[in-house]
Each structure stands twice: as structure tokens, then as C-alpha cells.
Structure 1
Amino acid sequence: MLIAAFGGWNDACQAATDAVRHLTSRYPSREVRTIDGDGFYDYQATRPIVCYATGRRRIVWPQTTVYDVELPQGRHLYALIAPEPNYRWPAYCAQVLRIADELDVRRIVTLGAMFADCPHTRPLPLDVEDGSAEAVTDPDQRYSGPVGIPTILDAAAVDEGFATSSIWASIPQYLEGDDCAAATLRLLDAIGDVAGVPIDAGDLPGRAGAWREAADVLASTDEALAAYVKRLEREYDAHEKARREASLGGHACRQLVMEAEAFLHSLETGHDADGDGRGPVGGVGTTHDGTV
């Protein structure tokens, strides 16, 4: 598979590109392909940088780099990192997919990170889509509006017959910054699930804990922010409860049906479902979880 992350609009707190940087620094990696930036970048918006190597000045131009990353158990994946292009997105995506085809890639996985109304005190929301927009895990959360290069690359890959996955992490909008290890960790966990190989988290769990502690301190010194976080917690918990109830498995559904049938039988026989002869009071009963 090819993991692709782009800096800029699609990369809140650099969480997505940091996921690729983590892969290439944590595992043996080598550069296998590049795409030159000429024709794809506005150098006033995405500027080249100057650095010094072995005492000599070097200009580094924006470009796309693809790495071969060697995972445990002899597994490999390719990782692409680049600034989001400014121009000619269809042509750019065609070049990426040509490289993917040359490398025998079968699945394209695009990463992204965005600011959202979510609390730092809960697991950061993760949106995973497979195949097409019709496969969104939560249909009520389907997005309509402006998109970035990950969405365009995903759509182009589908058109060319590649399997695709899109993984986006959400970051509390009240915690804008240059780094969010918690979001990077969420993305890497999802990559591990897709790749079938757990990703070594390195120091990310500790950095994620420090991020949450700093957010706790910030909220504790601002009453308005603390109240806002509490409201986000209530909304998050309510949404998670609704999601769990909507995804009840077959066994849970059968249990509810059996309890309902027992209750109805008790109305007919004058005995309650527990066999103690008392029956439901006032014709109303509850299940073991308190449901009327």
C-alpha cells in the first residue's frame, strides 16, 4: 500500500505528515521516487528553504518524496510526503498513481487532520472511509464542501481501480499549535490496522499525555473554556452512546427480543418474566439495562 500525507490545509498541527515522518524515522526507509515541484507549486506560497550541509549552502525546493518503509515481519509499505500542490491537481495525481502502479501498489491510503469541535479529554475522533463516499462509517457525518488534495487523489485512485482508504483525525480547534502527538498516534494506530502490522509508537504516547496535561492546565485557568470543554464532553458522550446503540450486534438484539417476548407472555399469563408472580406494575416493565 501507499500512505500519502500532504502538508498545509489538510494537515492540522502537522499530524498527518508527522505520521509519515514517524514511519520513515522509526523503521528502515529509503527514497525510491520523487516528483519535481516545477509546475505544481507557487514558490511564493510554498517557498524553498535554505540549509547548510557539510558547510555548504543548499537550496531545498518543494517536492514529493516516496519512501519504501520496511515494517516488522518482512512487511513493506510506501510512504509519500509532500506539501499540498498549488496547481494542476489532476496531472499531479496522475503522476502519483503512475508511480503507485510502477511499485505494484494495490491500495492508496490518504491521511489528513482537521480542527473540529471535540474535547481533548476524550479519544480524538477518527474518520475512516474505505472505497468511496458511500462507505462512510457514519453516514450522518458525510462532508460536503471544499476539499484538498487527499480527497482528489482518493477519487482519482478509485477511478483507476485502486483500493482506497481515507483516514482523518480531528483535533480540538481551541488547541491550535505546531504539534499534536495524540492525533499522530491515532493515525498511526489506524495505519497499523489497515496494514495488519502494529506500528511502533515510540515516544508518542508520552508526548500525547503531555499534550493532554497542557490542555488540562489551559482549561483550568479559563472558566469560559472549561465550560466549553464540558459541553463538548456531553455532546461527545451522547454521540458515542447513540453510535453504540445503533451498532448493537445480533446477540444483543436477540437478547432484547427475548426479553420483550417474555414481558408480553407475562401480560398474557399474569406472571412476570422472572416467575415470581408479581408481574409488571401498571403494565410497564424494564429490561436489565433500564429500557422501558
Structure 2
Amino acid sequence: MPEALYELVNGEAPEFENPVLLYHFSGFIDAGHAGGGIAEHLLENLEHTEVARFDTDQLVDYRSRRPEMRLSGGMFTSYAAPQLTLQAMRDDGGSPFLLLYGPEPDVRWEAFVAAVKELIEHFGVRLVAGFHGIPAPTPHTRPIGVTAHATRPGLLPADLLIDAELEVPGSASSLLQYRLGEWGQDAVGLVARVPHYLSEAHYPQSSVSLLRSLSSATGLLLPVNDLLEASEEAEQQVQEQVENNEQVARVVQALESQYDAFEGGTSRGNLLAEPKTLPTADEIGADFERFLAELDVGDDRPDE
């Protein structure tokens, strides 16, 4: 039974009327820590109350993602158990919303999705929105683009939707949206296109662009100031690295030319669906190996 996968922490639902549910699961693709950065930012900047907790012992493969334990004075003193929780929050305008955040389930995806559906019904959720980042052949000197997908037309502007036929690896997040669409629940997914050479770094600018698109798609007034400050610092670090490496600068210039050519084309989706000739993977890897080794953007905490 799906209800066995979670427990309601505070009994009755908060006095929310048709809230939005935001969600992000760590462990799958999240270039630039774009989605994880948003979730952490919201938890750090908004008051929140835990309203539901999933039993991660049934969902997480500990051997593939071993939780951290602390050894001190000859004895184990702590265990960082993975946490997948549903938090109740209010945005800067006082509107209610929910945030589901934690590690992506390794197993029992269908049971997990059914459990989330029960929570959506329990709290009267009107719209569900997921978010993450993907690597893309774009330069850091241009705006971070955001593309999207939705369970039905009309939820998002048509020019924001991914205009391509693609086969992609499945994820718990994608399955959740797919099933919600089958059940008639409004749901959207927002995807930030992050410069591929920064995909392994914590790149706050990707979270800023994604957060703004998330606010627009949901109508929530989500705070952004702290992320803006972090992104300015990160941009300065990246630019200094580029200016000090001629090879990296040349690759960035090539990406700028491609980006500008596509932006002058007919479709925003083309950057994702129909990339033109780039430097080879070996060339990019060689140029950026030293760049990434020296770069320190944001903190380097691993995903849960």
C-alpha cells in the first residue's frame, strides 16, 4: 500500500487552500546544482514545517549512495540518514506551497508515485512543478536558458516547451509527471540549460534563472536575493579562470558564436534539439580539465 511509504508528521493538513507542490530529487541529472540549489535556498530562507516524511529505508539503495557516518574518539557518533520530506511553506506574498525534497528513490518508483498522488489529494494541490539542470553547449557569458514540459497544453507558454522528439533516461521525477498527467493532475517540469563545463560545479546562476522561471510558472513570489549574491561571486570566479586560460577562452568564444547564431534562428528549442558543429568531446575535455580542477564555484557539498 502506498501509504506505508510515508507518514504524516503533524496529523491534520495545514490550513492551505489549493497550494502548489514543488519537488526536486537529488541523485539524477542536475547540472550546476540548479535544482538542488533552489531547494536548499528555499529551506534556508523561508520558514517551513515538515508535514510528511517518507520511509527512505524502503526507497534508497544504501550501497549505491552510502550515508555518511562520523567516527570520533574511537566510536561512531552520528549517522546522516537520507531524508525525503514534504515541507509546508509560504512565499514572500504569504501564498502557501509545499516542497518535496530529498534523494531520488532507487526502487519502488510506482509505489512512490502513488504515495505522492495521495499526498497531492490530501493537501488539495492545484499544480505540481519539478525542476533541475542539464548540461548544454552554451557559454556562461550568455543567459541561462530554461525549457519545459507539461501534462497538458496551456500550462506554460508554447515557446517554452521542448520542441523535439527525444528518448531520455527515465527518472522518478519524470515518471511522477507522466503519471500525474494520466490522472488529470496539472504538472510542469522546468529544465535549466547549464554550460556543460560548469555542470559538475555548484553554479548559482543556473538556480537564479530556474527560480525566476519557477516563479513565473507557478505564480509564487519566491525569494532570490541570496542566490543573486552567490551568482555574482561565482561569475567573477569563472571569468577570472577564463581570462587566464587562452584555450578555454577560445572554446567559450566558439560557444558564444553558436549560441548567438541559434538565438537569431527560428526556435528557442533548437539549442537543445539541433546543435551545430562544436569542438570535439576530446578537445573540450582537454581544454576544460585543468579549468574544472582549479575552479571553486559555490560549496562542494555532495548531493544527498
Match of 1:167 among 190, 193, 196: 190
Map of 2:56 onto structure 1: 37
Match for 1:146: what amino acid? P
2:151 touches 2:180 (CA, 8 Å); kept in 1? no
Rounded to whole Å, the distance in 2 between the matches of 1:76 and 1:22 is 17
Partner residue in 2 for 1:62: 82
Task: Tell me the CA shift for residue 120 of structure 1.
Answer: 0.2
Residue 50 (structure 2) pairs with residue 27 (structure 1): no
Larger radius of gyration: 1
Matched AA of 1:188: L
Structure 1 residues 136-193: Cα deviation after superposition (integer angstroms, max 9, x where no partner): 7355444322132221111011112210110011211112444111011112111211
Q: Which runs of 5+ in 2 are unaligned?
A: 1-19, 270-304
Match of 1:198 among 205, 209, 221: 221
SS in 2 for 1:41: coil
Work out whether residues 189 and 198 of structure 1, in 8 Å CA contact, stay in contact via their aligned partners in 2. Answer: no
Distance 1:136 1:95, change over 3 A: farther
Report percent identity of matched pairs: 25
- 2:259 pairs with 1:239: no
Q: What per-residue deviation string (whole Å, max 9, x for no partner) do you get for residues 121-141 of structure 1? A: 011121122225996735544
Cross-structure match for 2:238:
215
Structure of higher RCO (CA pairs closer than 8 Å, 6+ residues apart): 2
Report Cα offsets for 1:183-209 as digits up to 9, x if no partner. 111121112112323322122112212
Asked if residue 114 in structure 1 is aligned to residue 134 in structure 2, the reply is yes
Distance 1:193 1:68, change over 3 A: same
Are the equivalent residues in 2 in contact too, given 1:182–1:205 (CA < 8 A)? yes
Q: What is the RMSD computed on CA atoms of the aligned residues?
A: 2.5
Report the alpha carbon displacement of residue 51 of structure 1 after superposing the two structures with TM.
6.2
Trace 1:44-59 onto structure 2 (pairs within 5 A).
44-50=63-69, 57-59=77-79
Give the match's secondary structure for 1:185.
helix
Q: For residue 225 of structure 1, what is the aligned residue in structure 2?
A: 248
Q: Which residue of 2 aligns with 1:137?
A: 160
Change (3 A) 1:27 1:243: farther
- TM-score (normalizing by structure 2): 0.73
* Separation of aligned partners in 2, 1:154 and 1:5: 12
State the secondary structure of the residue aligned to 1:66.
Answer: strand
* Alignment match, 2:275: none
Alignment of 1:74-153 (within 5 A): 74-132=94-152, 137=160, 139-153=162-176
Name the SS of the counterpart of 2:99 in structure 1: strand
Q: Is 1:187 paired with 2:187?
A: no
* Conserved? CA contact 2:70–2:79, under 8 Å: yes
SS in 1 for 2:160: coil
State the distance in 2 between where 1:245 and 1:237 align: 11
- Corresponding position: 1:10 with 2:46: no
Aligned equivalents of 1:32, 1:197: Cα separation in 2: 20
Q: Residue type matched to 1:147 in 2?
A: G
Unaligned runs of 5+ in 1: 247-292
Letter in 1 for 2:67: P
Residue 155 of structure 1: aligned partner: 178
The verdict on how the C-alpha distance between 1:193 and 1:94 changes in structure 2, with shifts beyond 3 A counting, is: same
Q: Secondary structure at the match of 2:33?
A: helix
Cα deviation digits, residues 219-251 of structure 1 (max 9, x gap): 2222222121112111211222224799xxxxx
Q: How many aligned positions are there?
A: 243
Structure 1, residues 239-276: CA drift from partner, whole Å, max 9, x if none?
22224799xxxxxxxxxxxxxxxxxxxxxxxxxxxxxx
Give the secondary-structure state (helix, strand or coil) at the position aligned to 2:166.
coil
Q: CA deviation at 1:104?
A: 0.8
For 1:145, the aligned partner's letter is V
SS of the equivalent of 2:229 reads helix
Query: Which amino acid is 1:40 matched to?
Result: L
2:204 and 2:234 in contact (8 A); partners too: yes
Greater shift, 14-23 or 172-181, is seen at 172-181
